[in-house]
Structures are given as structure tokens and as C-alpha cells.
């Protein structure tokens, strides 16, 4: 069964890395994977997209994802300026980084899960160049909101990507997000 994921973020927030980590996590579970970015002009703060596919059989498609099963949103303001639900399957799930509750986002009719990834990053002092790191938390939340990948695989992928304390801290953030996730359904 093919599952398609679209990740929205802003340049510098790690949407591309999140897609790659997700692919690595699913790959560890023996799945066929694909993860790829859509790079615009590479400037900090501009909306960016990255995609991932996870499947039990080899993936032939090499187009962007047009009807995602899951949408991950790294930035709390992004859903106000772009349509994060574009092409999303009816039974699809949106996981957002926000302090708000799922029913406070104007996304009625969708399966929405929220987590305060920014809050977790500030709490753990998880920052890169002063900015809170939210991409690894979102992956923890994604594991909690769906059964596509397990939290264990996400943590393993994170620790393999960053050895030492950076890996530990990011893994801790993902674990907290997994626990603190609020599902709107």
C-alpha cells in the first residue's frame, strides 16, 4: 500500500531533512521509500515543500505528490497563507506545529493533530542558529498520529543522522511530541 506525505515548512526549518528522516525510518522497517525536496530559491523563511512516499512494493512514481495521505506542517502560521489541505485525501491526516487545539485552526472536516513543537524545542533548548528545531518533533508526532512508522524507527533514524548529544536531544524532542500530541478525532 502506497502512502504519500507532503511536508510544508519554511526555508531553514528542516522540511527536507524531515522527509529524509521519515524515509530512513520507514526503510529501517523494510519498506520501500522515496523522499525528495522541492527547492525554490533557497532563502530562509520562504514556504518550502518536501515529499515522501512509503510503500510495501517498489515505488515507480517520480512525480511530486499530488494527493497526499498525510500533511505535516512545521510552521504555526503557514496554514493561514497556503492551503495545506490541497489534494489531501478525504481520510487523510494533517499534523501541525501549533499551540492551538485541532478544532481552533479552521480546518473543520479534516483529521487534524497538533503538537507544540516550538515549545518543546525551547524547553529543551534545541536550537540551530538561534532558531528552534521543530522537524524532529513533528516526526515524533506523526508516529503518534498514524501507524505509518513506529516511534522507535523515528528515534533510530534521528540518532543515526546526528551522532552524540544532538541526536539524543532531537530524539528526546520527538519522544515528547509523540506523548504530547493532541488528536482531533
Opening angle at CA 162, ends 159 and 165, nearest 5: 85
CA distance 64 to 173: 29
- Using the minimum distance from each CB to another protein, give the nearer residue, 8 or 111: 8
Which of 39, 46, 104, 122 is in the footprint of another protein by CB under 8 A? 39
Residues 80-99 that bind another protein (CB under 8 A): none
Interface positions, 42-71, toward another protein (CB under 8 A): 58-64, 66
3-state secondary structure of 125: coil
Rounded to whole angstroms, the Cα distance separating 55 from 47 reads 27
Q: Identify which of residues 32 and 100 has a Cβ nearer to another protein in the complex.
A: 32
Are 175 and 155 in contact by the 8 Å Cβ rule? The answer is yes
Distance CA 108, CA 125 (A): 33
Closer by beta carbon to another protein, 12 or else 37: 37
For cell 533548548, name the residue. 125
Q: How far is the CB of 20 from another protein (least distance, A)?
A: 5
Instruction: Identify which of residues 53 and 172 has a Cβ nearer to another protein in the complex.
Output: 53
Binding status of residue 1 toward another protein by CB under 8 A: no
Which residues are at the interface with another protein (CB under 8 A)? Answer: 19-20, 23-24, 27, 32-37, 39, 58-64, 66
Amino acid at each position: 500500500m502506497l502512502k504519500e506525505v507532503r511536508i510544508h515548512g519554511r526555508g531553514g526549518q528542516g522540511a527536507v531533512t524531515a522527509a529524509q528522516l521519515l524515509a530512513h525510518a520507514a526503510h529501517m522497517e523494510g519498506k520501500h521509500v522515496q523522499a525528495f525536496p522541492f527547492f525554490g530559491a533557497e532563502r530562509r523563511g520562504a514556504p518550502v515543500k518536501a515529499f515522501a512516499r512509503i510503500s510495501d512494493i517498489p515505488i515507480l512514481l517520480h512525480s511530486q505528490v499530488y494527493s497526499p495521505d498525510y500533511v505535516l506542517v512545521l510552521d504555526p502560521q503557514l496554514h493561514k497563507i497556503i492551503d495545506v489541505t490541497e489534494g489531501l485525501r478525504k481520510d487523510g491526516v494533517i499534523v501541525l506545529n501549533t499551540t492551538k487545539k485541532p478544532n481552533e485552526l479552521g480546518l473543520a472536516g479534516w483529521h487534524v493533530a497538533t503538537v507544540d513543537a516550538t515549545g518543546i524545542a525551547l524547553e529543551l533548548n534545541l536550537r540551530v542558529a538561534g532558531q528552534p528545531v521543530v522537524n524532529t518533533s513533528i516526526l515524533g508526532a506523526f508516529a503518534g498520529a498514524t501507524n505509518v512508522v513506529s516511534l522507535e524507527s523515528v528515534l533510530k533514524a534521528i540518532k543515526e543522522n546526528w551522532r552524540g548529544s544532538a541526536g539524543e536531544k532531537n530524539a528526546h524532542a520527538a519522544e515528547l511530541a509523540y506523548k504530547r500530541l493532541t488528536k482531533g478525532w
